[in-house]
């Protein structure tokens, strides 16, 4: 990596020094000359060529909030790849932001132990009617009362227009202008910490979105050695890769150091292709460790990852990459099939109740066994602790990638939804909720974009139609470009206190409170666990213990009452999802000892 005279690794873009001057660092190794253009001041400042393709300048002529572009070779004027703000969108001028000007009030904040994370995934644009960071603040007391300890915000890197999931972001350093920009994100993080909530931010380092992507004009940010499903592969191990790696390492450090983010969720790291002696994830982890040693704050790196290779989450001193935790979709897939999901697409590898039991016990379902879908032996065994795995019954991907964007609330019975929620909450892993599931939100979460390039808009439409061509008998995929598609995906907060939504929320609060109360549930010890299942009856018995406390969870995924036997006559029932207080449309069945009602869960503690 390149270094400044003071020994600090280069921070790309415009960064303000303590004396108020701006330090400019642009990586453009192919340019013969480079300049900074300030259009409002009608000023052009030449940059000085440095080593390894950098162009630099330290000046007092740039002030916070000034708009600027870079001019390469005297002709092309382009936004800054490391822009911290794009007030006029992805094609407009960048804006200089002084991240040091914000006054924080979270000096006493301590990031909770990761084992205590109870995560709530939300999308800023659809979480509230207003779709802004400021409006999220108004819901923090609600989330705290629910029992959440960490919110996870889907990507906020600047994307085209005002409507996008965030995975089409094209400025990894810039905070989406329509959400409120950098200052409003800082205010939200500060407010979360004041309310005892950690903040996880979703970031994308496996590709850059198509519209507004000017990276190729500056240098070899991409490589043709590999390909991703979403665009050009980022150059992490080809010629000139050192400064590309630095660009993303510095992005990680910016979120932690300047925005006080507690954790990052790195999207689809299996699509990051890097065969360097030191993987980019390990380099990121080492840089974060260095930052934590310097500041005394704790930050975490959580990955979305589907290769079932625990090298990614093993410690560096055990030849791993050092990631703190990973999502495991396999738990979700097994749970959904147990709940009645047809075994099509990526569900085809899962048989339901037996694989759910295996995921409780082994984390990975495919841990060195043959995968019929992949036509090969897949995965490795893992002894990693439970706190290194994030599980869920639904998330943005598995809802939004359905043709009609259906949530569990429209796919499963009221009783089955409660059973699925419990299956997640009693696991020895980190539970994640997707916004609105706790009250059975029925609005869909659809795929939406707001591109300005007609060719790209048509390509998205065509791609969605092709993706779901086998399902057209069930209707047509929503037009991702239409504003109505976005508006239909917003949460309906008015339903919260009505009918079955109110009952479901009451149930989730009770379930979360129970998990946080019982050491046998909140202690994520995968070794102190036993699981039995009956495929014919579609029942599962999960037994977890900690110290002298034993918790027994009996789950019935069938549509008939089933008999079960408690291992200890002195057990006390602490939750029955079929009890009257958790039902709405029909009366609860009279309680019968050793009988579990259809699609329900009973939890006992000694």
Those residues with Cβ within 8 angstroms of residue 455's Cβ, 6 or more apart along the chain or in another chain: none
Q: Which of 202, 262, 267, 324 is flagged as catalytic?
A: 267
Is 66 part of any known ligand binding site? no
* Residue 51 known to be catalytic: no
- Please name which of 199, 177, 176 lies closest in space to residue 188, comparing C-alpha atoms: 199
Is 224 strand, coil or helix?
Answer: strand
Q: Give, to the nearest 10 degrees, the angle between helix 499-517 and helix 414-425.
A: 20
Residue 270 annotated as lining a ligand binding site: yes
* Two tokens, residue 106: 């979270």
- According to DSSP, residue 166 is labeled S
* Beta-bridge mates of residue 299: none
Active site residue 267: yes
Q: H or E stretch including 192?
A: helix 181-194
Q: Find the angle CA(447)-CA(389)-CA(208) to the nearest 5 degrees.
A: 40
Is 332 labelled as part of a ligand binding site? yes
Half-sphere exposure (CA, 13 Å, Cβ side) for 499?
Answer: 9
Backbone angle region of 599, left / alpha / beta, with phi > 0 → left and psi within -120 to 50 → alpha: left
330 labelled as ligand-binding? Answer: yes
Q: Is 269 annotated as a binding residue?
A: yes
Would you tell me how many other CB atoms lie within 10 Å of the CB of residue 496? 16
Pick the catalytic residue: 98, 152, 304, 415? 304
What count of residues does the chain have?
Answer: 606
Q: CB–CB of 64/98 below 8 Å?
A: yes
Q: Is 102 annotated as a binding residue?
A: no
- For the residues of 268-322, what is the DSSP string, one character each? TGGG----SSS-HHHHHHHHHHHHHHHH----EEEEE--S--GGGTS-GGGTS--
175 is in an annotated binding site: no
267 marked among binding-site residues = yes
401 is in an annotated binding site: yes
Residue 18 dihedral angles phi and psi, to the nearest 5° = -60, -30
d(CA 13, CA 4): 14
333 appears as a binding residue in the annotation: yes
Q: Is 399 annotated as a binding residue?
A: yes
Question: What is the rounded CA–CA span in Å between residue 55 and residue 436?
Answer: 47
Catalytically active residues are 267, 304
Q: Which residues are annotated as a binding site for substrate?
A: 265-270, 329-333, 396-401
Residue ranges of the annotated binding site are: 265-270, 329-333, 396-401
């Amino acid at each position: 990596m390149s270094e400044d005279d003071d020994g600090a690794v280069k921070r790309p873009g415009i960064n303000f020094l303590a004396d108020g001057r701006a330090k400019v660092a642009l990586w453009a190794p192919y340019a013969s000359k480079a300049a900074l253009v300030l259009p409002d001041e009608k000023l052009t400042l030449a940059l000085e060529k440095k080593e390894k393709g950098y162009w630099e300048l330290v000046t007092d002529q740039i002030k916070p909030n000034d708009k600027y572009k870079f001019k390469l070779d005297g002709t092309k004027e382009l936004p800054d790849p490391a822009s911290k703000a794009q007030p006029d969108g992805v094609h407009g001028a960048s804006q200089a932001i002084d991240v040091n000007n914000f006054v924080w009030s979270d000096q006493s904040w301590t990031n909770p132990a990761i084992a205590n994370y109870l995560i709530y995934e939300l999308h800023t644009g659809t979480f509230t009617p207003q779709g802004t960071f400021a409006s999220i603040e108004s819901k923090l007391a609600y989330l705290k009362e629910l029992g959440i300890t960490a919110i996870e915000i889907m990507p906020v890197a600047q994307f085209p227009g005002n409507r996008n999931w965030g995975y089409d972001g094209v400025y990894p350093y810039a905070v989406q202008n329509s959400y409120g920009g950098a200052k409003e994100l800082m205010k939200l993080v500060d407010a979360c910490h004041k309310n005892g909530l950690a903040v996880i931010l979703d970031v994308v380092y496996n590709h850059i979105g198509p519209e507004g992507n000017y990276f190729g004009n500056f240098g070899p940010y991409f490589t043709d050695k590999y390909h991703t499903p979403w665009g050009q592969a980022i150059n992490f191990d080809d010629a000139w890769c050192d400064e590309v790696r630095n660009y993303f390492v510095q992005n990680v450090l910016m979120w932690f150091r300047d925005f006080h983010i507690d954790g990052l969720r790195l999207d689809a790291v299996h699509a990051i292709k890097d065969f360097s002696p030191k993987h980019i994830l390990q380099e990121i982890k080492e840089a974060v460790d260095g930052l934590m040693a310097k500041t005394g704050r704790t930050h975490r790196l959580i990955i979305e990852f589907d290769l079932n290779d625990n090298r990614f989450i093993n410690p560096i001193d055990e030849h791993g990459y050092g990631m703190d935790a990973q999502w495991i979709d396999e738990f979700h897939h097994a749970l959904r099939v147990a709940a009645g999901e047809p075994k099509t697409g990526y569900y085809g590898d899962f048989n339901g109740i037996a694989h759910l039991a295996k995921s409780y016990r082994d984390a990975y379902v495919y841990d060195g066994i043959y995968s019929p879908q992949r036509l090969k032996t897949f995965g490795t065994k893992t002894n990693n602790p439970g706190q290194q795995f994030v599980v869920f019954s639904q998330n943005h991907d598995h809802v939004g990638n359905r043709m009609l964007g259906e949530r569990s609330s429209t796919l499963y019975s009221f009783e089955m939804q409660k059973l699925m929620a419990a299956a997640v909450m009693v696991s020895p892993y980190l539970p994640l909720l997707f916004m609105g599931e706790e009250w059975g939100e029925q609005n869909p979460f659809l795929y939406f974009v707001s591109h300005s390039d007609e060719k790209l808009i048509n390509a998205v439409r065509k791609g969605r139609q092709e993706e779901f061509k086998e399902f057209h008998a069930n209707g047509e995929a929503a037009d991702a470009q239409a504003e109505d598609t976005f508006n239909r995906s917003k949460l309906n907060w008015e339903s919260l206190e009505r009918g079955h939504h109110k009952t479901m929320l009451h149930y989730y609060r009770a379930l979360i409170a129970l998990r946080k109360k019982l050491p046998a549930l909140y202690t994520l010890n995968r070794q102190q666990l036993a699981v039995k299942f009956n495929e014919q009856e579609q029942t599962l018995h999960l037994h977890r213990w900690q110290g002298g406390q034993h918790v027994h969870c009996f789950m019935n995924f069938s549509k008939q009452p089933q008999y079960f036997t408690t291992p200890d006559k002195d057990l006390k029932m602490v939750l029955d999802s079929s009890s009257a207080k958790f039902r709405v449309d029909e009366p609860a069945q009279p309680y019968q000892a050793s009988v579990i009602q259809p699609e329900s869960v009973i939890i006992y503690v000694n």
